Structure 1
Amino acid sequence: MFKNLIIYRISASWVADFAALEAALAKSPFAECGPTQERSAGWVPPRGEEHGALAENIGGQWICRFMTEAKMLPASVLNRRVNEKAAHIEATEGRKPGKKEKKELKDEAKLDLLPMAFTKQGSMWVWLDPQARTLVLDTGSQARADEVVSSLVEGLPGFALALLDTQTSPQAAMAHWLNSQEAPAGFSVDRECELKSCDESKSVVRYGRHPLDIEEVKQHIQHGKLPTRVAMTWDDRVSFVLTAGLQLRKVAMLDAVMEGQSQDDRGFDADVAIATGELSKLIPDLIEALGGEGRTGLGQQLPASLGS
């Protein structure tokens, strides 16, 4: 649960209402793709129970799950069917299809093939903390996050969001931590990072399972390479990779979190309580390590289509 995090700040004007969230999600339930439907998306019960609730309130933390399904139609297969149709026209009518007709043939071919196409499903944990006024999405894809945000903004009156924004950019902070070889209070720098040059060469240096408190790393930074991601640990309890875009990747609970927890104690409620309990402490500490919130004073604004 929660392997990759994109974090949003919820507008102070929104009135938290769990019943309203449930009603909003009920308007967009997930349904599998129809025979000629390329893609489907919507909300599913987070517990995985058929006909279960679409939102769960676990200790004041609201948990939802967003599901997508897409038909897998390889371009080579589609092109072969289009070419077959075009060859049939040429053989029977003695002419080659024009550009417009080729497009129509492609649409026909797609409709022919979609019912036979394999489907691929993916889901995303969605965590809304009404007290801290944060929305956390378990994805590393901004495009996928935008889809969920759009669904919530459209369904919840007054629900406005901005991507979490800090006084110090993650990239500047990571460069300082690596160059000074000193992590912020409560954090440690681990053994993975990526550095990219800002000049035309766009050269990249990656370290994996390698100490970062070495002169070589400092020299790369002093010569103009900036970190795009750095592996870190918080309070010896949670490990993650911080990115230049203020995303958290490869989030993992460490042994200290699981001490005293047996497999018999584990379940949906326990997993949610553990994950949200740790991350609700990590996020404010990370914000503090990055100089506090609001570098611009407005947050990183969403596109108009999402924030309206």
Structure 2
Amino acid sequence: MFFRALTLFRFSPAVAADLVRLDEALADNRLPPCGPLEMGTRGFVPPIGRGDDAALTHSVSACTMFTAGGEDRMLPAAVVNDALYRKVQKITEDEGRKVGSRERKRIKGDLLTELLPRAFVRSSRLNGYVDTKNGWVVLDTGSLKAAETVLNLVRSALGSFPAVPLAPEEGPRVLMTDWLATGNLPGGLALGDECELRDPATSTGAIWRGRRSDLDGEEVKEHLRAGMQVFKLGLVFDDRMSFVLGEDLVVRKLKFLDVVIDELPDSHQDAAAEMDAQFALLTLELERLLGKFEEWFSLPRPADA
């Protein structure tokens, strides 16, 4: 249940009021099983529990969790191309003629129809939640592409969901470079042991990556003096969580430290109660972190139109 990455979007108070119908809207967009001739399907699955009668949202205070699901048939292009090659070769040998592009396309379509029903189906899940009090969409992924796919699913379900990417008034790259260069970090924030420096002058400029590194070391300072800037920086917040923050404000390698995990109850009545406790703790911890993001990077919440 604890997220391992954060891709963030924001929405206005008016949008928050509309989210009271989220559970009802998602109910019409459950994940359908992948049909024998479908490459994949998308929809929503229960974040807690299973079955057609399980709820598609789970709320704690002002935060409502949902889970986007997918089913994809695993049919590698190499398998199709190999079967196509053998078919074309057999026609060439048996009939002594060359197979044209239109016929190759038809044969490939026939092969897909033949092979798809036998292909394995891979399931995927991506958790997220909306915080209606503070106007956040929080998705457990470090991929902007995957995040946009999920956001589009929510938009489709609701009819409209004007959540927008973060618009920092303070440049994250400039701020993080200053933190690393001066050691003057905001209260409660400490350097981790990972960073990525780049020469911002060109898109193909030099890149330096350090892992398990001393970020106060002379090597890092030398790169900064040469004009390199921070594109990713490992940080520790309040000795409660560690993560790598990108200049796009995507959080990766998120890890809740032992002091947080120890606050979970030792035992639960069932798995649902355990997930409920984890979600409550997760949202409480992230509310504090995202509040600091607002402060550090001057992240405005969209206003009502």
TM above 0.5, one fold? yes
Q: Deviations over 1:209-235 (max 9, x none)?
A: 111012221221221322221111111
2:284 to 277, 280, 283: 277
SS class of match (1:267): helix
Out of 179-188 and 254-263, give the one that drifted further: 254-263
Q: Deviations over 1:285-307 (max 9, x none)?
A: 022122x124xx979xxxxxxxx
Is structure 2 residue 283 aligned with structure 1 residue 252? Answer: no
Counterpart CA distance in 2 for 1:43 and 1:18 is 16
Counterpart CA distance in 1 for 2:102 and 2:190 is 59
SS class of match (2:267): helix
- Displaced runs of 4 or more, over 4 A: none
1:231 aligned residue: 234
Flag the 1:250–1:117 CA change in 2: closer, same or farther, 3 A: same
Counterpart CA distance in 1 for 2:264 and 2:223 is 43
1:293 aligned residue: 299
SS class of match (2:213): coil
Name structure 1 gaps, 5 residues minimum: 300-308
Counterpart CA distance in 1 for 2:156 and 2:203 is 42
Q: CA deviation at 1:101?
A: 2.2
2:42 aligned residue: 41
1:206 aligned residue: 209
Is structure 2 residue 92 aligned with structure 1 residue 86? Answer: no
* Fraction of identical pairs, as percent: 32
Q: Is the 8 A contact 2:13 2:132 kept in 1?
A: no
Counterpart CA distance in 2 for 1:158 and 1:111 is 36
Q: Is the 8 A contact 1:177 1:183 kept in 2?
A: yes
Q: CA deviation at 1:250?
A: 1.2
1:25 aligned residue: 26
1:189 to 182, 188, 191: 191
Out of 193-202 and 247-256, give the one that drifted further: 193-202
Counterpart CA distance in 2 for 1:65 and 1:220 is 42
Report the count of equivalent residues: 296
Out of 18-27 and 44-53, give the one that drifted further: 18-27
1:147 aligned residue: 149
Out of 221-230 and 35-44, give the one that drifted further: 221-230
Q: CA deviation at 1:241?
A: 0.8
Q: Is the 8 A contact 2:16 2:135 kept in 1?
A: no
Is structure 2 residue 17 aligned with structure 1 residue 16? Answer: yes
Q: CA deviation at 1:282?
A: 0.4
Q: CA deviation at 1:19?
A: 4.8
What letter is aligned with 1:267? E
Q: Pairwise CA RMSD of aligned residues?
A: 2.0
2:158 to 140, 156, 159: 156
What letter is aligned with 2:261? M
Q: CA deviation at 1:106?
A: 2.0
Out of 105-114 and 193-202, give the one that drifted further: 193-202
Counterpart CA distance in 2 for 1:122 and 1:157 is 24
TM-score by length of 1: 0.89
Counterpart CA distance in 2 for 1:94 and 1:103 is 19
What letter is aligned with 2:99? P
Q: Is the 8 A contact 2:10 2:302 kept in 1?
A: no
Q: CA deviation at 1:184?
A: 1.8
Counterpart CA distance in 2 for 1:140 and 1:258 is 22
1:242 aligned residue: 245
1:304 aligned residue: none
Out of 20-29 and 253-262, give the one that drifted further: 253-262
Counterpart CA distance in 2 for 1:12 and 1:57 is 18
Flag the 1:27–1:81 CA change in 2: closer, same or farther, 3 A: same
Q: Is the 8 A contact 1:13 1:158 kept in 2?
A: no
Flag the 1:224–1:53 CA change in 2: closer, same or farther, 3 A: same
TM-score by length of 2: 0.90
Q: CA deviation at 1:53?
A: 0.2
Q: Deviations over 1:175-227 (max 9, x none)?
A: 11111122222211110111122336532211111110122212212213222
Q: Deviations over 1:37-64 (max 9, x none)?
A: 1111110000032220001112221000
1:306 aligned residue: none
Q: CA deviation at 1:274?
A: 0.6
2:129 aligned residue: 127
What letter is aligned with 1:77? V
